Amino acid sequence: MFNRVVEAYERIRKVVNRTPVMTSSTLDMMTGAMCFFKCENFQKAGAFKFRGAYNALSQLSPRQKEKGVITHSSGNHAQALALAAKLMDIKAVIVMPENAPKVKVAATKGYGAEVVFCSSSPRDREGVAQALVERFGYALIHPSNDLEIIAGAGTVAFEFLKEVGELDVVFCPVGGGGLLSGTAVAAKGLFPAVKVIGVEPQNADDAYRSLKVGRILPMEDPDTIADGLRSSLGSNTFRIIRENVDEIVTVSEGEIVDAMQFLWERMKLVVEPSGAVSLAGVLSGQVDLGSERVGIIISGGNVDVTDFFIRLRRRIVA
Amino acid sequence: MFNRVVEAYERIRKVVNRTPVMTSSTLDMMTGAMCFFKCENFQKAGAFKFRGAYNALSQLSPRQKEKGVITHSSGNHAQALALAAKLMDIKAVIVMPENAPKVKVAATKGYGAEVVFCSSSPRDREGVAQALVERFGYALIHPSNDLEIIAGAGTVAFEFLKEVGELDVVFCPVGGGGLLSGTAVAAKGLFPAVKVIGVEPQNADDAYRSLKVGRILPMEDPDTIADGLRSSLGSNTFRIIRENVDEIVTVSEGEIVDAMQFLWERMKLVVEPSGAVSLAGVLSGQVDLGSERVGIIISGGNVDVTDFFIRLRRRIVA
């Protein structure tokens, strides 16, 4: 699988943003560690998802490209696939839950994709997408369980560790598990001794529980502010995570918002709740950091700030 | 003055953050230009001001350092001087207007400075500071008109153009004029042909009007959302700007908030209103950009997001 990440990187590196690595002396003081943030909120379409989407689409046959692609996603994969499809002139259909953030729906449509709504149940999403595949012959690009999606996601850690060198531990959010799978494969492929920690919301802790009992325990419609992490592990991500990830820790909703506020106020980074989960894992103190070199993956920055700006405009003196 | 910038950079470069340069393909498409952002919102204490503050303090005599320093500032210079003084173990007293953003007051106190409040009138600020200078012998570090402050501010453009190479035009916000003075001196010192444009809120357009009539026309208590740009030009900044800046354009309050929203939503950068003013100048279309290489200085990111996070916490499911 590591070779697949390296190949994916060769394929996509000229198109994706090489996102910056940031540090915070405040956080280093708080933790006693040297922390490095890989800022995928600065990726095209606002999240790491663009890497996997572009990688997966570039592997399709000419016939598949002609028919178009479909996926189901609460938002970031939707936007990413829509943008990647637009860049390659491929038709994209996105099945989105009705409760997806408006800003993500708008951006997906803005990239020219066709949006089909479904209920917020993961089963319903998959059913709706499957019916359209059967009817129109679209290629289904699963948001996390597809191996090309995982390899693309792995390029985040590949690029990150190529830049900063060996790390002792890397914290990574886990929802469907594509990013965590790719991160574990890439990080350990480069530096076998690096520890990889998955961080998951307590309110959507299917990965934590699945790893514990040794089989996939999907969750129906979990309620967490980290909207990008509501999906459950799939067959491939479960297997890769079980083999390569050292530990999964869970964090409360309050810890997620606290981490997000730190990133906004202290580091001036617009990060969405899902993107702040890995920092929440660091700050939760569940993993002893000593004076280690710590990697923290910020997965995305697509958060709705419409209300904030409506309020700000009310303060304007004409 | 250019040599002073170079010397300042030698003095401070190991302490200041070397802030990243960012780009936006969306903005490049919108403008037809190649735009580069120098992101001083990632500077220590959240704004470019730290550069000048650290430079000025490092030039004080041992006796001055022992007595302590004072300044008046609505916020960013306050925080910057407080932090620089803390790093050098110097006492700092900051005179702040009562209407300064709470988050800036809190940060200033957080760095260990003593805060003295005054009314929001620039004259009152200076009066209060002067009285304390006379009583306690503090060294007064003016937030913009001090030549060491200007030289420190000039290191932003110096570092920026050293990294990206020659630019055709640089947009820079103007309040008291320290950043604009330093930017013009540094940019033209490196590349004499670069055009330097100051951008100012229409609601605080003293620099625009002063340059037009050829003498300083200070403004009493201007009302703009760009709280960092409410102060007026001083003797040094007026002279340097008159000699080195090509044009000053003004932007409306709505244009400032629109630019800020673009930076947050599309570029994932937490930027304060004053920091978005230079982009507002670009987007206002007053300067013909053609296909030029355009530099845009983002001066700071200290904005109060407390309410946003209070609202977000209300959405949490425990």
Interchain proximity B268–A264, CB inside 8 Å: no
Which amino acid belongs to residue A238? F
For B2-34, the pLDDT digits (tens) are 999 999 999 999 999 999 999 999 999 999 999
Token reading at A273: 């709740």
Domain with CATH 3.40.50.1100 in chain B: 2-47+146-298, 49-140
Output the average pLDDT for chain A: 94
CB-based contact (8 Å) between A318 and chain B?
yes
For A107-122, the pLDDT digits (tens) are 899 999 999 999 877 7
Asked if pLDDT for residue A318 goes beyond 70, the answer is no
Give the per-residue pLDDT at A291: 85
Q: Are B87 and B57 in contact (CB under 8 A)?
A: no
**Residue B7: is it exposed, middle or buried by C-beta count within 10 angstroms (0-12/13-18/19+)?**
middle
Asked if B49 is an active-site residue, the reply is yes
For A149-193, the pLDDT digits (tens) are 999 999 999 999 999 999 999 999 999 999 999 999 999 999 999
Give the per-residue pLDDT at A27: 95
Give the per-residue pLDDT at B119: 86
The stretch A194-204 carries a mean pLDDT of 97
**Residue A232: is it exposed, middle or buried by C-beta count within 10 angstroms (0-12/13-18/19+)?**
buried
Set B44, B49, B104, B188: catalytic member: B49
The stretch B203-224 carries a mean pLDDT of 93
Nearest by CB to B305, from A41, A254, A264: name it: A264
For A60-104, the pLDDT digits (tens) are 999 999 999 999 887 899 999 999 999 999 999 999 988 887 888
Query: Which among A239, A259, A310, A240 has a CA at the least distance from the CA of A27?
Result: A259
Output the average pLDDT for chain B: 94
For A206-241, the pLDDT digits (tens) are 999 999 999 999 988 888 999 889 889 999 999 999
Q: What are phi and psi of B116, to 5 degrees?
A: -115, 125
Length of chain B (residues): 318
Nearest by CB to B269, from A253, A261, A268: name it: A268
Judging contacts by C-beta atoms under 8 Å, the chain A residues touching residue B43 are none
**Ordered strands of the B169-173 beta sheet:** B21-22, B34-39, B293-298, B169-173, B195-201, B247-251
For domain A49-140, the question of CATH label 3.40.630.30 is answered with: no
CB-based contact (8 Å) between A193 and chain B?
no
Give the per-residue pLDDT at B193: 97
Nearest by CB to B270, from A225, A268, A311: name it: A268
For A265-309, the pLDDT digits (tens) are 999 999 999 999 999 999 999 999 988 999 999 999 999 899 899
Which amino acid belongs to residue B110? G
Q: What are phi and psi of A176, to 5 degrees?
A: -75, -15
Interchain proximity B225–A253, CB inside 8 Å: no
Q: Are A269 and A208 in contact (CB under 8 A)?
A: no
Confidence of residue B124 (pLDDT cuts 50, 70, 90): confident
HSE-CB for A274 with a 13 A CA cutoff? 30
Asked if pLDDT for residue B103 goes beyond 90, the answer is no
Alpha-carbon torsion (B45, B49, B52, B57), positive or negative: negative
State how far residue A165 is from chain B, nearest Cα, in angstroms. Answer: 20
Those residues with Cβ within 8 angstroms of residue A261's Cβ, 6 or more apart along the chain or in another chain: B305, B309
For A12-35, the pLDDT digits (tens) are 999 999 999 999 999 999 999 999
The 8-class DSSP code of residue A313 comes to: H
Token reading at B49: 């001001």
For B255-308, the pLDDT digits (tens) are 999 999 999 999 999 999 999 999 999 999 999 998 899 999 999 999 989 989
The 8-class DSSP code of residue A64 comes to: H
Helix axes A76-87, A102-110, angle to 10 degrees: 10
Asked if pLDDT for residue B102 goes beyond 90, the answer is no
Give the per-residue pLDDT at A145: 95
Interface test with A, best of B27, B251, B265, B314 (most A CBs within 10 A): B265
CB-based contact (8 Å) between A103 and chain B?
yes
Q: Are B186 and B177 in contact (CB under 8 A)?
A: no
CA–CA dist B16, B30 (Å, integer): 33
Catalytic sites of A, residue numbers? 49, 299
- Centre a 10 Å sphere on the Cβ of residue B316 and count the other Cβ atoms it contains: 16
Using DSSP's 3-state secondary structure scheme, residue B210 falls into helix
CA–CA dist B187, B155 (Å, integer): 10
Nearest by CB to A264, from B254, B261, B270: name it: B270
Q: Are B262 and B210 in contact (CB under 8 A)?
A: no
Measured in whole angstroms, the distance separating CA B272 from the mean position of its chain's CA atoms is 11
The CATH class of B2-47+146-298 is alpha beta
CB-based contact (8 Å) between A20 and chain B?
yes
The stretch B218-246 carries a mean pLDDT of 93
Using DSSP's 3-state secondary structure scheme, residue A123 falls into helix
What is the enclosing helix (H) or strand (E) of B117? strand B114-118
Show the CA angle centred on residue B130, arms to residues B124 and B135, nearest 5°: 130
Confidence of residue A125 (pLDDT cuts 50, 70, 90): confident
Using DSSP's 3-state secondary structure scheme, residue A201 falls into strand
The 8-class DSSP code of residue B300 comes to: B
The stretch B168-190 carries a mean pLDDT of 98
- Centre a 10 Å sphere on the Cβ of residue A61 and count the other Cβ atoms it contains: 9
Length of chain A (residues): 318
Interchain proximity B203–A317, CB inside 8 Å: yes
CA–CA dist B56, B77 (Å, integer): 12
Is the overall model pTM greater than 0.80, yes or no? Answer: yes
Percent above pLDDT 90 for chain B: 86
**Residue A293: is it exposed, middle or buried by C-beta count within 10 angstroms (0-12/13-18/19+)?**
middle
